[in-house]
Every structure is written in structure tokens, then in C-alpha cells.
Amino acid sequence: LHHMVRNIVGSAVAIGRGTRPPAWMGDVLASRDRTTAGPTAPAQGLTLLRVLY
């Protein structure tokens, strides 16, 4: 789970920039293989604002 949030954010940024399709995130998570994900986001500037359930 090391850098898990940063890995997910990096992949979400790739989708937001249009370099990957939205469905790709599901494929990355299902594969459970870190090498298929986007780049790890830098730790600076990442802030969790809220969690909704």
C-alpha cells in the first residue's frame, strides 16, 4: 500500500489530461499490477479535503 494514493492520483491525472481513457482506471485496479498504472504523483501539494460515503 506504499504510495497507493499517489499512484491512484497519478493515474487519475493521466485520465484528466486525456492521455488515457476513463475505463483504463478499472483495468489498472483490476490488474493489481503497479507497472500498468500512471506515474506516481509527487507528495507535495496533495491534500485530502473530504471523504463522502
Q: H-helix or E-strand containing 27?
A: helix 23-31
How far apart are alpha carbons 29 and 15 in whole angstroms?
A: 14
The structural domains of the chain, with segments of one domain joined by +, span 4-36
How far apart are alpha carbons 34 and 51 in whole angstroms?
A: 24
Any idea which residue has 493521466 for its cell? 14
Cell numbers at 5, concatenated: 494514493
Prediction pTM value: 0.73
Cell numbers at 29, concatenated: 485496479
The pLDDT value given to residue 10: 92
Cell numbers at 16, concatenated: 484528466
Is the pLDDT at 18 greater than 90, yes or no? yes
14 within 8 A of 20, measured Cβ to Cβ: yes
